[in-house]
């Protein structure tokens, strides 16, 4: 899939654990884990907004396009 999720990179930059992020964005650990590992097929804008707010970043910091 040409869309790459860099959630783990942003979490490391902010020194934030999966548990802490889960509480801040009100998502389950399993759903965040799916996003973090790049196995998600879609993401809601409301979820992306919550992640950007919690990580103090832009959507492009979390999602990237990589041509095959």
Question: Which H or E run contains 65?
Answer: strand 63-65
- 68: confidence class by pLDDT, cuts 50, 70, 90: confident
Indicate the Cα dihedral angle 42, 11, 61, 55, nearest 10°: 90
- 1: confidence class by pLDDT, cuts 50, 70, 90: low
Domain range holding 9?
3-65
Instruction: Give the CATH number of the domain where residue 44 resides.
Output: 1.10.260.40
Mean pLDDT of the chain: 94
Nearest to 5 by CA among 46, 40, 53, 49: 40
Query: Using one digit for the tens of pLDDT, what is the confidence trace for 19-45?
Result: 999 999 999 999 999 999 989 999 999
CA distance 39 to 20: 21
Count of domains forming the chain: 1
Nearest to 4 by CA among 52, 65, 67: 65
């Amino acid at each position: 899939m040409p869309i790459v999720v860099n959630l783990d990179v942003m979490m490391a930059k902010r020194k934030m654990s999966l548990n802490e992020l889960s509480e801040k964005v009100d998502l389950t650990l399993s759903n965040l884990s799916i996003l973090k590992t790049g196995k998600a097929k879609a993401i809601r804008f409301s979820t992306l907004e919550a992640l950007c707010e919690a990580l103090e970043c832009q959507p492009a910091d979390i999602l990237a396009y990589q041509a095959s």
